[in-house]
Structure formats: C-alpha cells, structure tokens
Amino acid sequence: MTVGYEPWDRARGAEIIAEHAGLEGATLVILHALQEAFGYVPEPAIPMVAEALNLSRAEVHGVFTFYHDFRKQPAGRHVLKLCRAEACQAAGGDRLAARAEAKLGVALGNTTADERVTLEPIYCLGLCATAPSAMLDGRVVGRLDEARIDALVAEAQR
C-alpha cells in the first residue's frame, strides 16, 4: 500500500463525505477526497456517498468508473506516470516508455509484483515544450532521456 495513506475506516470515510456533501455537484469532490485519504476509493464508500447525496449506488458507481483517476484498489508504493501523448511521442517518448516497461517488468497500467511501483500512461502533463515528460508521485520531470528515465525508475523502485 502506498505510504502515507490511512487504512480504510468507515467513520473516517463518513466524516470526509460529510465535509463536502453540502457542495453543489459534490460527487467528484468527495471521490477525490476519499482517494486522497485512503489512496483509493474503497468499495464500501460508494453506498455511503450515494446515501449522503441522495443518489443511487449505480449513479455513484457510474461516476467512479467513468474517470481514469479513481482507483478501486491501492496503487503501488510509488506511481510513475509517463506521458504518452503526441508531443512526447514526437520527442522519443515511445522508446522511453518501452524502456521503463522492460526495466520494471510490467506493461503500462500495471503494478509490479512487489507492489512497489505502479506504471501508468498519462495523456499530457502540459510540459510539451520540455518533452518527453513524466510524473513520479506528483513530482514533474521533463526532458527525459535514457539516463533520466533509468534514474526515475530506480528511484521508484527504492
């Protein structure tokens, strides 16, 4: 489980939901807040969100599954996102992504068996003039080359 997150706790979940339930269109805000606390959106939270917002479970589940950001299980200890969009492709991103996949032994979208690293594609970090780019646990890195991607992978594996 990713370091720094709380284990799922129903009372804590209810508290987070209550904190934001009064906002207009609160569903995404709540799902973000839950994921920020627990590292993913635990399944038991879905009916709780539905009840708080007077929605059906299906509606909340639908929102939860629509967006790429929300996780149904915890990510690896570190999350390495590689930009796979056109500007990074033009700057050699395909080759670097393949290199990261080979080094980690997993394809994009997967977590290593030791649960240390989740490798994910991301479609544009807006760092297109310093491409190719990546994000490691929220830290942005640009102008990637083989040495830099190797260093990032090594850092993620620690």
Contact residues for another protein, defined by CB under 8 A? 24-29, 31-32, 53, 59, 62-63, 66-70, 83, 85-92, 122-131, 133, 135, 138, 140-143
**Residue with Cβ nearer another protein (11 or 66):** 66
Distance CA 134, CA 139 (A): 8
Q: How far is the CB of 147 from another protein (least distance, A)?
A: 14
Q: Which residue number, 55 or 106, has a Cβ lying nearer to another protein?
A: 55
The distance of closest approach from Cβ of residue 113 to another protein in the complex, given in angstroms and rounded to an integer, is 25
Residue type, 58: A
CB of 40 to another protein, least distance (A): 13
Minimal distance, residue 103 CB to another protein, in Å: 21
Name which of 89 and 112 has its Cβ closer to another protein. 89
